[in-house]
Structure 1
């Protein structure tokens, strides 16, 4: 049996960054569903949180998993679930693009805290500002 620890900080937004997830109650439902559904599919989601227009997940890849497939499963199934349960007033979708960066063992707790504190964080900074800083920090063009 292989022993693998590959943590990924995954960030993705709602389609056109529309603030579909505009209440804390709705976000709690969606984040809980993402974590539970991922577990059913053998995807380890350490932490999930976000704000009205985006989601952060700290995930750990298994030996037979890749980022593209995990993102597809998380985003696709959660969109389907939100629409099936009519949790918002119009058709929900996630943006196609996403950002994924590796997280070292020594940085797990700071990343968890960052994800945990999204509500407070976004009183000071928009998602667009956050996303641009991520892209610059990790040298994405």
Structure 2
């Protein structure tokens, strides 16, 4: 788009179906690289992708002509196909429906980057459910418990 300038930073968060702990190292890192490739193919820049065994965080620069929901759909769809083709699991992998998307200013990017980079440490003391609900509250996102991810305890 001519004469259109933007600076949109979005953190996307989504989990493995039923929040199972399936994203094992070292192949989890291959999935993140693959996701970065999907994002790049859309003409976008991924800043960091990281997570733990049951969920993923993606920080990226979004362009206004790209639909966020279409982007997340494509990341989930193509990474699912990639994971299943690798035969890392004995059954079909899938992501849970839904996602969180949270916007940040340029001044917050380094802080968010470090937060995502340190997911392993963060989740020593905090579950994904706790983290996700904290995001929703911090960003004043209205939600109903029955429409949140399926939590497995």
Same fold, judged at TM 0.5 (above): yes
- Asked if 1:35 corresponds to 2:41, the answer is no
Structure 1 segments, 4+ long, off by >4 Å, are none
Alignment partner of 2:13 out of 4, 8, 11? 11
Q: Is 30-39 or 7-16 further displaced after alignment? A: 30-39
1:80 aligns with 81
Gaps in structure 2 of 5+ consecutive residues: 144-153
Gaps in structure 1 of 5+ consecutive residues: none
Q: Is the contact made by 1:43 and 1:70 (CA closer than 8 Å) also made in structure 2?
A: no
CA RMSD after TM alignment: 1.2
The number of equivalent residue pairs is 140
Q: CA deviation at 1:89?
A: 2.3
| SS at 1:60 equivalent | strand
Q: Is the contact made by 1:7 and 1:102 (CA closer than 8 Å) also made in structure 2?
A: yes
Q: Is the contact made by 1:12 and 1:56 (CA closer than 8 Å) also made in structure 2?
A: yes
Q: CA deviation at 1:43?
A: 2.9
TM-score norm. by structure 2 comes to: 0.86
| SS at 2:21 equivalent | coil
What CA deviation, in whole Å up to 9, does each residue of 1:54-82 have, x standing for no partner? 00000111231021011011111101110
Q: Distance in 1 between matches of 2:38 and 2:89?
A: 19
**Which of the two has greater strand per residue?**
1
Over alpha carbons, which structure has the higher Rg? 2
Q: CA deviation at 1:96?
A: 0.9
1:134 aligns with 135
